[in-house]
Structures are given as structure tokens and as C-alpha cells.
């Protein structure tokens, strides 16, 4: 008879000891602020919902705190880490999880994550602050929808998290909010005090949870990105000025009855979608 598959993680040394044993003194250049509190890490790993048997793609496992918590849910984890000093510690985590962890040494910006994690993967990460927004914009982009991922559970600096979930008319509302909300539900799932990290960063953090929803019909993501980049690139200007560089955008505003003297931050996500739909049709 086949032995039942083990879903747990056998006991491992505390993360603080792992960091000391492997000399993982935090590198500022790599955005290393580690989370060591297992209960907090388990709470983050529960945000995507049940993960037993699912695949999770993790950027930047570091010493493996969130990785362990994800593996404790019963998930398989595919992780990409740029700092090779972390690899021996992660090999120990893999042993304790009966081979459910695959670690790729490399730069997350240079990896085709849909190929390594596969269709239907969840993405969960305490993102390095210097590549976090670029990765998010990539995961939210593309003409194919739904995307390869089922959910994103991502830690950002609080100020960035607030921009992702922001509503029109607020100072935080901009390009990131439109890209995160036009065909996804984006929620701020948890705020995390700076003191939870080693070393503590200067600012507070938050976990954002994003799930894809049906994409509006007839809208090219590339066109929407171009419109929002122009509109919010000069957010103090009236749309008449900021959208001048986008061919036929002013005519689209007129066709929709949107006053070109308004500023980008007063438009709803649906308004940007409607503008992009007209420009997509015109292409
Ligand atoms: N997951 C760990 C935790 O929660 O304690 C570490 C998170 S730390 C904020 C970010 C991690 O991303 C570090 O381990 C760092 O080495 C790694 N990293 C930084 N830039 C990266 C990149 N371009 N590709 C992959 N990993 C990267």
C-alpha cells in the first residue's frame, strides 16, 4: 500500500537561528526585511484561502519564513530567490516538506513565472520593495484574461498598498488603482507594523489580496495602460492637456460626455475602461 502523502512540515530550527547559522545578514540592496513570527506568517498564508494541493509561486523566500507557512497549508511552493546565500536554508525547508519546495536561483523580473508555476497557481510574496511594483504591473497586464494566476497575496509598503486599492477622488488613486481594479477585485487584507520585520523598515507594510474577475469586453490592456499612464503622468493637469499625447483620446472623452476640464483622479475605473474601449475599437 502507498504511504499517504505528507502535507506537513517537520520541525525546523527557529528562523532567527537559521539566519545566524547561514550568515544571512540583511542586504538593503536586495530589499531584505525578514518576517520571523510564525503566527503572523500563518495568517498571511491563509489569506488566499485553502491551498492544500495547490501550487504557490513565491518571489524572494529569503530564509524561508513565509515559505514554511505556505508549505504548512499543504501547498507546493515554487520560489525564486536572487540571493544564493539563502539556498542552503531553503534546501533544509524542502527536506522538511518532503520535496514540495522548488527553488530557482534568479531574478524574478527575468523569469517566465507562468512556465515555472503553471496555470492556476497562486502568487504569495513578501516582495522586495525595489521590484514589487514592476512585478505587480506585469501580473496585472497582458491581453489574456483570466491570467495564469488564481490570486495574488502580496506585501507592499503601506503607501503602495493604499494606491492599489484606492478609490477615485483620493490622493492615492492613480494608475495602479485602475490597473488593479478594472478586471480584478483588490483588497487590503492586513496591515503589518514595521516592528514585525528584521531589520524593521522605515515605513509600515500591508498585504494586498487580488483576485481576477471577468474582463470588460472589447478593451485592450495595452490601450488602457497607455491612457492611464498619460492621464496620471500629469495628474495636476486637466484631461484636455494630459491626454493630448494619446491620439483620439479627447474625441473619446467628448463621445462619452466626460468634461475634458476634469482631472484624471475624478474619473471612475469604468470611465477609463470606456475611453480605452473606444480607442481599442479605433485601432
Ligand atoms: N520571504 C522572506 C520573508 O518574508 O521574510 C523575505 C522577504 S524580503 C522582503 C525580499 C526577498 O526577495 C529577499 O530574500 C531578497 O533576497 C529577495 N529578492 C530581492 N530581489 C529579488 C529579485 N529581483 N528576484 C528574486 N528575489 C529577490
Residue to probe by mutation, ligand 1, list 30, 41, 70, most atoms within 8 Å of CB = 30
Distances in Å between the alpha carbon of 240 and those of 174, 217, 256? 17, 26, 14
Nearest ligand 1 atom to the CA of 131 is 23
| 221-282 CATH fold | Helicase, Ruva Protein; domain 3 (1.10.8)
Tell whether ligand 1 has an atom less than 6 A from the beta carbon of residue 80: yes
Nearest ligand 1 atom to the CA of 130 is 20
Distances in Å between the alpha carbon of 241 and those of 140, 173, 230, 276? 27, 19, 10, 17
- CATH 3.40.50.150: does it fit domain 15-212? yes
Alpha carbon distance, N-terminus to C-terminus of the chain: 61
Q: pLDDT band for position 7 (50/70/90)? A: confident
Sequence-ordered list of residues with C-beta below 8 angstroms from that of 29, at least 6 positions apart, any chain: none
Read off the pLDDT of residues 193-221 as tens digits, 9 standing for 90 and up: 999 999 999 999 999 999 999 999 999 99
Domain(s) labelled CATH 3.40.50.150 in the chain stretch across 15-212
Buried b or exposed e, range 170-189, using 16+ CB within 10 angstroms: eebbbbbbbbbbbbbebebb
Read off the pLDDT of residues 99-120 as tens digits, 9 standing for 90 and up: 999 999 999 999 999 999 999 9
- Predicted TM-score (pTM) of the model is 0.96
In the reported structure, the alpha carbon of residue 245 is separated from the centroid of ligand 1 by a whole-number distance in angstroms of: 37
Tell whether ligand 1 has an atom less than 6 A from the beta carbon of residue 107: yes
Q: Write the residue with the smallest CA distance to atom 10 of ligand 1.
A: 128
More confident residue, 3 or 37: 37
Amino acid at each position: 500500500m502507498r504511504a499517504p502523502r505528507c502535507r506537513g512540515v517537520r520541525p525546523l530550527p527557529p528562523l532567527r537561528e537559521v539566519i545566524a547559522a547561514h550568515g544571512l545578514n540583511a542586504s538593503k540592496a536586495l530589499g531584505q526585511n525578514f518576517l520571523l513570527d510564525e503566527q503572523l506568517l500563518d495568517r498571511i498564508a491563509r489569506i488566499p484561502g485553502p491551498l492544500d494541493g495547490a501550487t504557490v509561486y513565491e518571489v524572494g523566500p529569503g530564509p524561508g519564513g513565509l515559505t514554511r507557512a505556505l508549505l504548512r497549508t499543504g501547498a507546493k511552493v515554487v520560489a525564486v530567490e536572487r540571493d544564493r546565500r539563502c539556498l542552503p536554508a531553503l534546501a533544509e525547508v524542502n527536506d522538511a516538506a518532503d520535496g514540495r519546495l522548488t527553488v530557482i536561483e534568479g531574478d524574478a523580473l527575468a523569469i517566465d513565472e507562468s512556465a515555472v508555476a503553471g496555470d492556476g497557481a497562486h502568487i504569495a510574496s513578501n516582495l522586495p520593495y525595489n521590484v514589487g511594483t514592476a512585478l505587480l504591473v506585469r501580473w496585472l497586464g497582458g491581453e489574456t484574461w483570466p491570467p495564469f494566476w488564481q490570486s495574488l497575496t502580496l506585501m507592499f509598503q503601506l503607501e503602495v498598498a493604499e494606491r492599489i486599492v484606492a478609490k477615485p477622488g483620493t490622493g492615492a488613486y492613480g494608475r495602479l488603482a485602475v490597473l488593479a481594479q478594472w478586471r480584478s477585485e483588490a483588497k487590503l487584507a492586513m496591515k503589518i507594523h514595521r516592528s514585525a520585520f528584521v531589520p524593521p523598515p522605515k515605513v509600515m507594510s500591508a498585504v494586498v489580496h487580488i483576485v481576477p474577475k471577468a474582463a470588460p469586453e472589447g478593451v485592450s490592456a495595452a490601450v488602457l495602460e497607455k491612457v492611464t499612464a498619460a492621464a496620471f503622468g500629469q495628474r495636476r493637469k486637466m484631461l484636455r492637456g494630459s491626454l493630448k499625447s494619446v491620439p483620439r483620446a479627447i474625441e473619446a472623452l467628448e463621445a462619452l460626455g466626460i468634461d475634458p476640464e476634469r482631472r484624471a483622479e475624478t474619473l471612475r475605473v469604468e470611465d477609463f475602461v470606456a475611453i480605452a474601449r473606444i480607442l481599442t475599437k479605433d485601432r
